[in-house]
Structure 1
């Protein structure tokens, strides 16, 4: 290859003189030699020449004296038509007159090819203007032997975007465009930014990033360095949709380098949407920082789409001063005289919460439901609660109650009533935890006021939290009023409260001498409890059935049982855990509403017996048990709780406790579950240790407990069988949920049998020691007779 640099200096000067003398129009000169030819590039690149056809002929005459040459002339002012001039043999002299040029075979072929290309471009242009068939024009293009120019390639990709989907699918259109690009490259035509802009929509449905990258690399370097802003933005969107954030960010920063301050808000919006689509919050925050820094902070005029992206960026983390950014976004919405959408308004609320500015968050809540008239979405409001706990700012939970109450009165809390109920449950649960846990993080009185302010829904789970907080905060009248509504007015249809609510209510009533009011509330007496001003009938809350009875009052075989008893000196309020969901701790509803009311009453009575027993008030236990007998609400769980209270009293009333067990045997026969025998084991062990029961009776009861333990191997075999069925069940099988429930029941029963086995071994060791006081065997298993007022482990289990 011989370039222009290798020409002699004399020849170079003569060429330079001619190029400068005849410069009339832009033209690219490429001399291509076949066989023994010499290729010469260079004239216009080396000396920046602007020549016409006559100039090219004289360049050939001066530079190519001995070999054949092929000249490519690209005239932009004549539509970038491509012409070829072939000079054969020894070109020693040229005639410069017009007749000689017209008669030359070089120009005849040149004009013929140019006319073919022009005809083809006219056909494509007619199709673009709707004057011809699109498919017919594309078929003519594919069958034509005419050479392509830049117009041909541009018309082709534009026509492919107009092809109906039933004529050509996305893959066929893209393949046609690739063939056109390949053919244009063979003809020396490179794609420009216009072609690239129309190629991206063809590649977008198939996510063909490599084709666009190849076409971009074919763009001449001088054009690639000055891509129009609209093409740069199209590249950003294309890479974003194809999931290539690496290419997207390069295209974005290239546009910043090329266009500088001319980059508008749309370019920033496209790249932010790309990063948010792939959940790359860190890169999105970096782009947002570029926008908010000079010079773009004063040049770019934000629009609604950019502000929406900014709200998403601010709600995704706390690396930025997100509270200040959220305020700036709100100010820009005011400048644009438009309101943010409900989603954006709630995202800005999350920004204030993540920044720890809780007062600003509450002000923004008022702005949302009062000024904007939007709903407070549960998902974003609920971020407020754990953020307060995480930052140790539990006091900020109390003023939130006023905002929730106002939104509820305007019916703008949550997307529907169910979401609002979930939000209130979460809020009341955190208040309950802050009061019940040690050390206490919130004052019980203030927490009770906040809980009563938001309790506007007929929900037994929320009522459980409110009753507990009201009782712990000294608002016993309100606690009795809410419990009375749950038990008397809506008991047949509504689920009862959870165990911790009854425990707190019974304890406070016992300390305040209000047990009569509590018993009237529970057993449906016509006399209303003395609740002061808050016991007015007009203040009743309308409650509908939402949640069933707590499972903590349901046995595994369908019978009722009481919650676990707590040994003396331990507070059950600190041990009880609130349910995490609406269904946890809930009892299956019984179709018969009358029997459901009796079961609910019996479950609550069993919890009262347990609490009064823990407080050492056996007289109150007797009163509750007698009321259950009168109301025909005596169930297995009430009898078991009362038997346990009698056996663990000081001194133990062992005979009455055993009588209760025999009554249970008479009534229920062989359906007694492991919970009853576990409580019986604690009662007998405590009585024998304190000398309140003879050894022969204890040995008889021990034999019955051992007989009940004989069914333990069958339960273990059933458990193993359920494990095998669970392993074979497909993940999405409809019966898998029932298998999981059966498996949990079997695990609970096996755990109960294990504890019963331990108590049987303990009682056996105690009886052996009573028969042979000098025996040292199994001394470690004997109970501590000095502290046997309550057993050391739980006897009645919760489900």
Structure 2
């Protein structure tokens, strides 16, 4: 209904709500005591500071006669208004004794009306469609839903139309063209009941028309929405009719239209939608571009977003041109999606020219664009800008930088020019990542990249500089992580800085032991770190310092015997590699003297070392000693011990007599006799038979000791020898179950090795007997 003409004179018929809003606006816009045009009069009445507006309204009564009512609106200084009706005979009656707000308060605090109750058949249909939206199978399948909507004959309302269009997108038995045809039928049927169309209708049709790249259907639906008769405006000064029609599509619908026209290749329609969106919602071009670019990138239409940015970037980035920050933010989003470092650099210069400090998200987007575009120097400058702005240095950009540096062309981008300057940024950053877990992942990736660069030779000539950068970062963030500490120890060992390596190893033992007293399997460095540490110490003749670290002489809280057994095994492997069997014998004797009850934790490793060194008789004699103890029930030899025995026998039978032992005489290198070998292989076969008959095995030491044993034994040889664990430190219960699982896998693998080695030994004995 149109607003009444207040300036035309005479009596008019109006709605009460329109009367109140319009009357209050006129009263407040004129001083008291001045007569108004028509039958609306304003004058002073009552106490000082009170305004009264009088309006005579003629309307038809129930008996057909016309009556005249005089409405007095009393507006006081408190902002409240009371409406009083006066009859023509002079009697007054308070029609409504409510307190009405001012027009601004009315618009700001207007409560929604209760929805009108629809027809029963429409409500029943809506309930069925609501259930079908949860799953068409719940109401009989998609075919039943289509037949129901085509033949129901129930009137449609807004809810019915929205539900039917949403269901049309889920009808799996129809083709895309069939779904669109069904939606068109529902729209035509709803027009019979004057159902008002809104932006949701447009979004449904955009989703249905997208696979078919339909243009005319979308244009018709848009025309139908915008050409609907306007609703009465509660505002006393409504916007122009054209603007009200354009506003019937919200910003999301306009973004959907722009995306659809980009898919269809209709640039003229796309530009027209951008213009309409700006004028209809009275939005600046910067805000519009940021919203549209974000929507296009969300729809994975980065080419359309880049085309839209290119059409305005020439004027936005022009020197001396003042632009809105929304345009620059949208441009940063597009540059990040297209990995265009040149555009990112221009946007950065524009921020500097305008003296605007970008928000954190924009700086991170520009940093990502420079990283993916291989402009590492500009990326580091942006990281410096982030630090100066006191923003958080996010893990995403740091991971991207480290990964891109590792994969960059070494000739064009030397690794030391990419990774080493990043250490200064990590040290100077006041806020590194959102929490400790993210910071730990970033530091792990950075130290891993440094270690790999030194190992593969790309940073080999700068080992001292690499260690200096790594040690600064390690001390800056006081890292309590075994993987990071392992990389620092390995870098120090490779650089020949044994004191730094020993210091970090001791600190790691204390830190992790104090934090996780029950998690002994996590209170040590990774295997590669100990190997490099021990190798560097042996080469520098620093055996006393290494033994002090192994047996923890300098600590008031000594390591657990299982931890020491792990270190002894690593030391035995390194000494075997370097041919220092004498050191292996000394360390084994020291351990057996101090921790005789846990000697089996290092027995298999020591026996293998003796076999590889050519001391077969000593290794076999050691096994026979433990075999007698096993028969007496004092100890229990497992599959690892018998697998090591098979290795010793094969080394003694078919192995090379020349070994790595540089400190041993040839008196110990006598090959075992065939009789002894036959007895030993018989032991191996009997063990396999007992294992098959009793897979669980005898429990001679108790469940607690068994669990403690494989928590200490298994991770030493099996738990990620070449790299670091991917996750964070686990709770004790999870670590125990993981150790059990690894233990069972290792024993199964050892049993397969025993079968293979026993078969090889039997074949060798058979061939020897045939030759004899």
TM-score range (shorter-chain normalised) is: 0.5 to 0.7
Aligned counterpart, 1:376: 393
Q: Could you say what secondary structure the match of 2:337 adopts?
A: coil
Aligned counterpart, 2:129: none
Checking the alignment, whether the CA contact within 8 Å between 1:709 and 1:753 is kept in structure 2 is: yes
Uncovered stretches (5+) of structure 2, i.e. residues with no partner: 25-106, 119-125, 127-155, 163-186, 210-216, 230-239, 656-669, 698-732
State the number of aligned residues. Answer: 541
Aligned counterpart, 2:214: none
> Which string of whole-angstrom CA distances, capped at 9 and with x for unpartnered residues, describes residues 382-428 of structure 1?
10111112213474456645544554465411112222121111111
Query: Which residue of 340, 345, 348 corresponds with 2:366?
Result: 348
Q: Could you say what secondary structure the match of 1:374 adopts?
A: coil
Query: Which residue of 759, 762, 770 corresponds with 2:760?
Result: 762
**1:693 is the counterpart of 2:699:** no
Query: Which residue of 458, 461, 468 corresponds with 2:483?
Result: 461
Aligned counterpart, 1:538: none
> Which string of whole-angstrom CA distances, capped at 9 and with x for unpartnered residues, describes residues 218-256 of structure 1?
3799x9xx9979977985833377799325777984262
C-alpha spacing 1:717/1:276, structure 2 compared with 1 (3 Å): farther
Query: Which residue of 413, 432, 443 corresponds with 1:424?
Result: 443
**1:645 is the counterpart of 2:609:** yes
**Matching of residues 500-579 of structure 1 within 5 Å:** 500-526=528-554
**1:480 is the counterpart of 2:480:** no
**Residues in 1 aligned to 2:632 and 2:367: alpha-carbon distance in whole angstroms:** 60
**Residues in 1 aligned to 2:226 and 2:115: alpha-carbon distance in whole angstroms:** 33
**Residues in 2 aligned to 1:736 and 1:342: alpha-carbon distance in whole angstroms:** 38
**Residues in 1 aligned to 2:530 and 2:159: alpha-carbon distance in whole angstroms:** 74
C-alpha spacing 1:716/1:227, structure 2 compared with 1 (3 Å): farther
Aligned counterpart, 1:705: 684
C-alpha spacing 1:717/1:252, structure 2 compared with 1 (3 Å): farther
Aligned counterpart, 1:246: 260
**Residues in 1 aligned to 2:534 and 2:632: alpha-carbon distance in whole angstroms:** 29
State the 1:380 CA deviation: 1.3
Aligned counterpart, 1:547: none
Uncovered stretches (5+) of structure 1, i.e. residues with no partner: 1-75, 80-114, 132-158, 529-592, 719-734, 775-799
C-alpha spacing 1:242/1:663, structure 2 compared with 1 (3 Å): farther
**1:304 is the counterpart of 2:325:** yes
**Residues in 2 aligned to 1:165 and 1:217: alpha-carbon distance in whole angstroms:** 29
State the 1:756 CA deviation: 2.3
**Residues in 2 aligned to 1:213 and 1:715: alpha-carbon distance in whole angstroms:** 78
C-alpha spacing 1:298/1:409, structure 2 compared with 1 (3 Å): closer
> Which string of whole-angstrom CA distances, capped at 9 and with x for unpartnered residues, describes residues 599-621 of structure 1?
11210111001110111100111
State the 1:626 CA deviation: 2.4
C-alpha spacing 1:206/1:216, structure 2 compared with 1 (3 Å): closer
> Which string of whole-angstrom CA distances, capped at 9 and with x for unpartnered residues, describes residues 69-99 of structure 1?
xxxxxxx9999xxxxxxxxxxxxxxxxxxxx
Query: Which residue of 251, 258, 264 corresponds with 1:237?
Result: 251
Aligned counterpart, 1:679: 644
- More deviation, 356-365/659-668: 659-668
**1:654 is the counterpart of 2:619:** yes
State the 1:499 CA deviation: 0.7
Checking the alignment, whether the CA contact within 8 Å between 1:401 and 1:453 is kept in structure 2 is: no
**Residues in 2 aligned to 1:264 and 1:119: alpha-carbon distance in whole angstroms:** 43
Larger Rg: 1
**Matching of residues 433-452 of structure 1 within 5 Å:** 433-437=452-456, 443-452=462-471
**Residues in 2 aligned to 1:276 and 1:471: alpha-carbon distance in whole angstroms:** 48
**Residues in 2 aligned to 1:200 and 1:761: alpha-carbon distance in whole angstroms:** 78
Checking the alignment, whether the CA contact within 8 Å between 2:467 and 2:492 is kept in structure 1 is: yes
Checking the alignment, whether the CA contact within 8 Å between 1:643 and 1:660 is kept in structure 2 is: no
Checking the alignment, whether the CA contact within 8 Å between 1:644 and 1:657 is kept in structure 2 is: no
C-alpha spacing 1:474/1:127, structure 2 compared with 1 (3 Å): farther
State the 1:355 CA deviation: 1.3
State the 1:324 CA deviation: 2.4
Checking the alignment, whether the CA contact within 8 Å between 1:209 and 1:242 is kept in structure 2 is: no
TM-score (norm 2): 0.58
State the 1:651 CA deviation: 4.7
State the 1:709 CA deviation: 2.2
Query: Which residue of 484, 492, 497 corresponds with 1:470?
Result: 492
**1:339 is the counterpart of 2:345:** no
**Matching of residues 775-790 of structure 1 within 5 Å:** none
> Which string of whole-angstrom CA distances, capped at 9 and with x for unpartnered residues, describes residues 531-571 of structure 1?
xxxxxxxxxxxxxxxxxxxxxxxxxxxxxxxxxxxxxxxxx
Checking the alignment, whether the CA contact within 8 Å between 1:646 and 1:656 is kept in structure 2 is: no
Checking the alignment, whether the CA contact within 8 Å between 1:444 and 1:469 is kept in structure 2 is: yes
> Which string of whole-angstrom CA distances, capped at 9 and with x for unpartnered residues, describes residues 310-360 of structure 1?
323222342xxx222223333344455443222322222212211111122
**Matching of residues 152-301 of structure 1 within 5 Å:** 164=112, 167=115, 174=158, 199-200=198-199, 215-218=221-224, 235=249, 237-239=251-253, 245-247=259-261, 253-254=268-269, 256-257=271-272, 259=275, 264-293=285-314
**Residues in 2 aligned to 1:313 and 1:253: alpha-carbon distance in whole angstroms:** 21
C-alpha spacing 1:127/1:511, structure 2 compared with 1 (3 Å): farther
Aligned counterpart, 2:527: 499
**Residues in 1 aligned to 2:679 and 2:116: alpha-carbon distance in whole angstroms:** 90
> Which string of whole-angstrom CA distances, capped at 9 and with x for unpartnered residues, describes residues 137-174 of structure 1?
xxxxxxxxxxxxxxxxxxxxxx9x98728636999983
Aligned counterpart, 1:781: none
**Residues in 1 aligned to 2:459 and 2:372: alpha-carbon distance in whole angstroms:** 25
Q: Could you say what secondary structure the match of 1:513 adopts?
A: coil
**Residues in 1 aligned to 2:507 and 2:567: alpha-carbon distance in whole angstroms:** 14
C-alpha spacing 1:243/1:650, structure 2 compared with 1 (3 Å): farther
